Chains A and B, each alone.
Chain A
Amino acid sequence: MVYDRNDEANIKAGFLYLVMTHIGTACIIVAFLLIYNFSHSFEFETMRLSISAIPSFVKNIIFILVLIGFGTKAGIIPFHIWLPSAHPAAPSHVSALMSGVMIKTGIYMMIRIFFDMFGSIPLWWGIAVLGIGSVSALLGVLYALTEHDIKRLLAYHSIENIGIILLGLGSSLIFYSLGNTTLALLGLGAALYHTLNHATFKSLLFLSAGSVINQTHTRNMEEYGGLLKYMPRTAFFFLIGSMAISALPPFNGFFSEWLTFQALMQGMSSPDVLIKSMFVLAIGALSLTGGLALACFVKAFGATFLARPRSLELAHAKDSAFPLSLAMGSLALCCLLFGIFSGYLGSIFITLGESLHLFSDVSPIINSSPDHTLTAPNGFGSVSAPVFFIFFVLVIFLVMIITKFGIYRNQKIKNGSTWDCGTDLTPRMEISATGFARSIIRIFSGVLRPSIQREIEYRDSESRYLSKKMTVNLKMNDIYQTYLYEPLKKILVSISIRTKMIQSGNLNMYVLYILIAVTTALFLLK
């Protein structure tokens, strides 16, 4: 991560990453130590066997510690702050890996511990995970909308997708504690499927974004524009990635979100008011997230690749080299294939869950003869990706053929300039990435806290006629920074100042400290 040592922002990002992962690691270590206290072994097998001996109070603590620890690694809100600053600092291929694999380790370990180690799940665990998932998904995409740094934008989308994965996991935990293993498997399968999908499309997006950054030497989307003409292949792959991450059929993102939706929908029919409302909220969050993600990727793709270039340097941009194109192409193909074969993949992931400890005593319930349709249990719904795909391609093809050859064959198509109302268009007259998302930001101003600062310099101190210079600064107040991390930092600093008293510099005092520490340790060991 601290790849480029000379950049101060990089070092800061690296440090933040270090601190946050350390906090996460500390939580994880404490969690494992607590388990060790009962299992006396770090073997997963042994830990699993002795887990039932742990009192539920301690189990809850372990759950919280694991959630915070691996949540930090996965980038859940509010422990996400390292992620958006880490991605832009890292080179793009590292980002692709980080997003595709590294943050997934957090998810992997959560599944490993919750589903493979514990034998019983209290209801509130699932509800907590579902809540965190909703918040992460929604806030992740909202923060992504505020960004015009393309890598930070993608980083925030990782948070959003981790949220969606957690929605699947959370619903699975809830269903399990309610005793409905079929649905628990559905939720888990959705989460696993989405994990795979996220790895493919996010890597694709990071690689193509990296290619753009490489050619333009900036991460600022406000300076892009019109790149589709210079980098057609990259643009095409980015478009596929955008459609996949926005859950547009027939790409893979849609089908894992479909499974997640199905799991959440089944939860809505629960008789318990609390659980039901949790699921309604989760569905609301997920559908809003879907809509906002769509808006965000219209912004990202539009501002980067469409319209006219906003700076002259873009004219030198060249398309990605062949090996990179090949890599992106195969990822794009994966996005499509993982979608089209969703029927098979979905059932694979659902049956995959059955091998976990939690489902060990459950006989296979889900129809394990996979075909091209993705089906939810109880006949709640089904969707066939290949049929949709063929239908879709066929319809568009037919429409094109008919309009081209069926009606008025000798139509002439003339090239003209964009409608300019009789003036000359400049690059300043294209909508900016910030401008595109501004309305949504204003609508969600309660969460995002945008501020706007106008500075006007007049020609004359008396006269308000014609400003000499007018500057508008847009800012976003990070609520975690102000309400969580800043107070935390203050407390830490004040504690540090208090504890400084101990550090008197007197050797005798230090000897005394050692003595006290040793006696306490001896006493405790006894």
Chain B
Amino acid sequence: MITFAWILQLIFVPMLSPLCIGIIRKIKAILQNRQGAPIVQPYTDIWKLLHKDEVVSSDASWIFRYAPFVVFGVTILVGASIPLFASFLQNTLTSDLLLIVYSLALGTFFLALAGMDTGSAFGGFASSREMTVSALAEGGFILALLTISLIAGTTNLFAISNAEILHTGKLFLPVVLAFTGFCIVLLAETGRFPFDNPATHLELTMIHEAMILEYSGKRLALMEWAAANKFLIFAALGANLFFPYGIGEHPTIEAITVGIVALMLKTLGFCLGIGIIESSMAKFRFFRLPDLLITSVILSAVAIGLIQIL
């Protein structure tokens, strides 16, 4: 059963992440009075891209050629190292909070380098924007997760989602505060409103899309897929660390099923939230984004302060 759970854990994120993107797009379409593409469209897109020939810029180096594998590989690695549907899995080797944060940074690092590698002005400024946003988001990200790990007394993510105190709903206020801070980081790191507009065609306003502008074929498929994985990873972190209700605590089929359903429901919540945000508000002006990220740091800092007082 444990082996089965581990295999499921390994393929869970890449298998389901395109679905999340499809759901978000569908929700947005509905909210904007459109019919929208089918929910499975991202799968067919990836499949289509995987079967296309590629054009690679002659200015590009091996960084450009290998970055998609690193970026995608990192999301697989991280996806397998975080609690998804089962907290009974023990992983003291790679599921440390900081290791996850910095592994994701490793992906960002190569993504940004790949953006600069072809020498296009779009890729260059997109990398600059990405690094600006992610540098500032890192503080909020670490502090939000630290709040939880402080409550749970460990930085091991599986241990956190297993922690008794989080299941009992004690310390609700700090958890909610840190969660709010985390949500801001989620929007920033996954390139969502109000930070980035994944649906825009205006190259001057893009962040993520302009970084992968030069990619085509298989490599583009990997980049898109990696972005989808990253979204599901963040959704799972938010769902399972802050509110680990429903997560499978025992190695039984029922527990795993309940865990998967709970995770998908919580992820659906994230999708719904993002759909509403992206339909109902304007993207922020670039230099207002730091204010938002600082807010996330402050929220988590307050949450840490509250832990003892409560």
Bits for A233-253, please: 1 = Cβ < 8 Å to B, else 0.
000000100010011110000
Q: In the assembly, what is the distance between CA of A57 and CA of B158, in Å? A: 49
Contacts of A443 in B (CB 8 A): 132, 136, 287, 290
A298–B109 touching, CB < 8 Å: yes
Task: Please report which residues of chain B, range 72-98, place their CB below 8 angstroms from some CB of chain A when the two chains form the complex.
Answer: 72-74, 76-77, 92-94, 96-98
| Cα–Cα, bound, A388→B80 (Å) | 12
Q: Say whether B112 contacts A302, CB under 8 Å.
A: yes
Given A298-B109, A388-B99, A417-B58, verify A288-B77 contact (CB < 8 Å): no
A489 within 8 A of B: no
CA distance A442 to B285 in the complex (A): 14
Q: Which of A228, A399, A407 contacts B72 (CB 8 A)?
A: A399
Q: Mark B276-291, 1 if CB is under 8 A from A, else 0.
A: 0000000000110010
Select A294's contact among B56, B120, B134, B287, beta carbons within 8 Å. Answer: B134
If the complex has contacts A269-B150, A298-B109, A414-B55, are A284 and B297 also in contact, measured as CB distance less than 8 A? yes
Chain B CB within 10 A, most for which of A384, A407, A414, A418: A418
Please, which residue of chain B has its CB at the minimum distance from the CB of A404?
Answer: B218
Least Cβ–Cβ distance between A449 and chain B, in angstroms: 17
Task: With CB as the reference atom, state the residue of chain B lying closest to A386.
Answer: B93
B222:A403 contact, CB within 8 angstroms: yes
Contacts of B128 in A (CB 8 A): 299, 431, 435-439
Inter-chain contacts of B53 with A (CB < 8 A): 411-414
Stretch of A84-92, A357-365, A375-383 contacting B (4+ beta carbons < 8 Å):
A375-383
Interface-side segment among B137-145, B169-177, B247-255, B264-272: B137-145
Bitwise, B102-145 to A at CB < 8 A (1) or not (0) is 11011011001100111111101101110110111111011100
Given known pairs A298-B113, A307-B117, A382-B156, the reply for A399 and B69 (CB within 8 Å) is yes
The answer on a CB contact under 8 Å between B54 and A411 is: yes
Of B56, B117, B124, which is within 8 A of A436 by CB? B124
Q: Contacts A228-B63, A407-B50, A419-B213 known; A380 to B142 CB distance under 8 Å?
A: no
9 closest A-B pairs by beta carbon, nearest first, are: A431-B124, A307-B119, A291-B138, A291-B135, A381-B155, A295-B131, A302-B116, A396-B73, A384-B93
Stretch at the interface among A63-71, A149-157, A168-176, A258-266: A258-266
Q: How far is B106's CA from A459's CA once the two chains are assembled, in angstroms?
A: 50
Among the 9-residue stretches A118-126, A195-203, A205-213, A275-283, the one with 4 or more Cβ atoms under 8 Å from chain B is A275-283
At the interface, yes or no: A478 with Cβ under 8 Å from chain B?
no
Report A-chain residues with C-beta under 8 Å of the C-beta of B136: 288, 291, 443
Given contacts A246-B109, A276-B308, A301-B113, contact A383 B93 (CB under 8 A): yes
A257 to B60, CA, bound (A): 33
A306 at interface by CB-CB < 8 Å: yes
A268 at the interface (CB under 8 A from B): yes
Instruction: State whether B59 touches A431 (Cβ < 8 A).
Output: no
CB of B59 within 8 A of CB of A391, answer no
Q: In the bound complex, what is the Cα–Cα distance between A395 and B106 (angstroms)? A: 14
How many angstroms from the CA of A322 to the CA of B229 in the assembled complex? 42
Q: List B contacts of A283 (CB < 8 A).
A: 142-143, 146
Question: Is A302 within 8 A of B127, CB to CB?
Answer: yes
Any A CB within 8 A of the CB of B161? no
Contact between B102 and A247, CB atoms less than 8 A apart:
yes
Q: Is A471 an interface residue (CB 8 A)?
A: no
In the complex, per-residue mask of A423-457: 1 if CB is within 8 Å of any chain B CB, else 0: 00100011100011111101100000000000000
- Expressed in whole angstroms, the Cα–Cα distance for A363 and B127 within the complex equals 51
Whether, in the assembled complex, A226 has its beta carbon less than 8 Å from a beta carbon of chain B, the answer is yes
Q: How many residues of B contact A (CB 8 A)?
A: 79
Instruction: Say yes or no: A381 contacts B97, CB within 8 Å.
Output: yes
Q: Which of B60, B70, B98 gathers the greatest number of chain A CB atoms within 10 Å? A: B98
Within 8 A of A (CB), among B210-256: 213-214, 217-218, 222
Across the interface, do B99 and A431 meet the contact criterion of CB distance under 8 Å?
no
Q: Which residues of chain B come closer than 8 Å to A416, judged between CB atoms?
A: 55-58
Q: Is A115 an interface residue (CB 8 A)?
A: no
Residue on A with the closest CB to B103? Answer: A249
B184 at the A/B interface (Cβ < 8 Å)? no
**B61 at interface, CB cutoff 8 A:** yes
For the complex, what is the distance from the CA of A373 to the CA of B119, rounded to whole Å? Answer: 41
Question: Is A400 positioned at the interface, with any CB of B under 8 Å from its CB?
Answer: yes
Instruction: Judge whether A419 and B142 touch: CB under 8 Å.
Output: no
A290 within 8 A of B: yes
Give CA–CA (A155, B137) in the complex, Å: 25
Contact with A along B140-169 (1 / 0, CB 8 A): 011100100110011110000000000000
B301 interfacial by beta-carbon distance below 8 Å:
yes
The answer to whether A291 and B58 touch across the interface, beta carbons within 8 angstroms, is no
Partner of A379, one of B70, B76, B154: B154
- What is the CA–CA distance of A361 and B179 in the complex, to the nearest angstrom? 44
Give Cα A299–Cα B121 distance, bound, in whole angstroms.
14
Query: Distance in Å from the Cβ of B258 to the closest Cβ of chain A?
Result: 28
In the complex the two chains form, is A265's CB within 8 Å of B73's CB? no
Interface contact A430-B124, CB-CB below 8 Å: yes
Q: Is A491 positioned at the interface, with any CB of B under 8 Å from its CB? A: no
- Given A287-B142, A384-B94, A388-B94, residue A248 in contact with residue B214 (CB < 8 A): no
B135 engages A294 (CB within 8 Å): yes
B93: contacting residue among A303, A388, A396, A408, CB under 8 A: A388
Given A254-B102, A407-B51, A414-B55; A292-B135 close (CB under 8 Å)? yes
B305 CB-CB contact with A under 8 Å: yes
Which residues of chain A come closer than 8 Å to B23, judged between CB atoms? none
Residue of B nearest to A429 (CB): B121
Closest residue of chain A to B10 (Cβ to Cβ) is A395
Task: Indicate whether A26 reaches chain B with its CB closer than 8 angstroms.
Answer: no
A294 to B70, CA, bound (A): 16
* Shortest distance from the beta carbon of B46 to any chain A beta carbon, whole Å: 10
Asked whether any CB of chain B lies closer than 8 Å to the CB of A148, the reply is no
B54 and A412 contact, CB distance less than 8 A: yes
Task: Indicate whether A55 reaches chain B with its CB closer than 8 angstroms.
Answer: no
Q: A291-B134, A295-B134 are in contact. List 8 more A-B contacts (CB 8 A).
A: A247-B102, A294-B138, A378-B153, A384-B93, A388-B93, A414-B53, A418-B59, A443-B287
* Residues of chain B lying within 8 A (CB to CB) of residue A229: 61
**Most A CB within 10 A of own CB, among B58, B69, B99, B146:** B99
With A287-B142, A301-B113, A431-B116 in contact, do A307 and B213 touch (Cβ < 8 Å)?
A: no
Report the bound CA distance from A303 to B128 in whole Å: 11
B129 shortest CB reach to chain A, Å = 7
Question: Is A480 positioned at the interface, with any CB of B under 8 Å from its CB?
Answer: no
In the complex, what distance in Å separates the CA atom of A295 from the CA atom of B51?
A: 34
> B132: which A residues are within 8 A, CB to CB?
295, 439-440, 443
Asked whether, in the complex, the Cβ of B139 is within 8 Å of the Cβ of A291, the reply is yes
A147 nearest CB across to chain B (Å) = 16
A420 to B213, CA, bound (A): 11
Docked CA distance A302–B102 (Å): 20
Using Cβ atoms and an 8 Å threshold, which residues of chain A touch B138?
287-288, 290-291, 294
